[in-house]
Chains A and B, each alone.
Chain A
Amino acid sequence: NAGVTQTPKFQVLKTGQSMTLQCAQDMNHEYMSWYRQDPGMGLRLIHYSVGAGITDQGEVPNGYNVSRSTTEDFPLRLLSAAPSQTSVYFCASINLRSSGANVLTFGAGSRLTVL
């Protein structure tokens, strides 16, 4: 049982490049989400999904796209990277049916630098 797996762990991009951060979970969690973490800002929600085929915007969605074609995968796409997107990104999931609903299980994080 791997939990939440994020790849890559580190990535350096040039301004204007595109890339996808991958997130997969093997716990059959309905809810998946992406956060970014910047110094002094805490964790801010980018996008989330409550099930396959359903996505919605969080607090800071601009510049990011997501899709949820399967329960297991929730990739985050940067279409045209900007230096303001330099951050640490966390994918997290929840089993909405459990008594511990709202307790997020986090991936290990992906550190992205945009030059």
Chain B
Amino acid sequence: EDKVVQSPLSLVVHEGDTVTLNCSYEVTNFRSLLWYKQEKKAPTFLFMLTSSGIEKKSGRLSSILDKKELFSILNITATQTGDSAIYLCAVPYNEKLTFGTGTRLTIIP
């Protein structure tokens, strides 16, 4: 059975800290891994990773994939209160997209 596991489930840090969120997967015929950010409403797309070792970066957020060890990390540096959200990773398999349970990140001012 395909599986996507995120850790930690919940994380509380102070503004300015750096955080690392983890996503491991067990999926047959892996093609890509996606990261989403969900604030109050619908998830919004952050990154799609297909190749091992190549970092994707957007401002203070960056992500990298390790296809050998079957995981990805999402880093957020110099966190701000606006980074408080649930971060979801997802892996497509055939015509389905399997999501992890998410990491709830809370940034304390």
Contacts and interface: CB of A to CB of B under 8 A. Distances in A.
B92 A102 contact: yes
A104 B88 contact: no
Nearest to B32: A102
A55 to B, nearest CB: 11
SS of B interface (majority) = strand
B107 interface: no
A109 interface: yes
Interface of B: 6, 9, 31-32, 34, 41-45, 48, 88, 90, 92, 95-102
20 contacts: A33-B97, A35-B99, A42-B102, A43-B43, A43-B88, A43-B99, A45-B96, A50-B95, A58-B96, A90-B43, A100-B48, A102-B31, A102-B48, A103-B34, A103-B48, A104-B43, A104-B90, A106-B44, A108-B41, A109-B42
Nearest to B95: A50
Given A104-B45, A109-B41, A42 B101 contact: yes
Interface in A1-49: 31, 33, 35, 40-45, 48
A109 B40 CA distance: 10
A59 B102 CA distance: 17
A75 interface: no
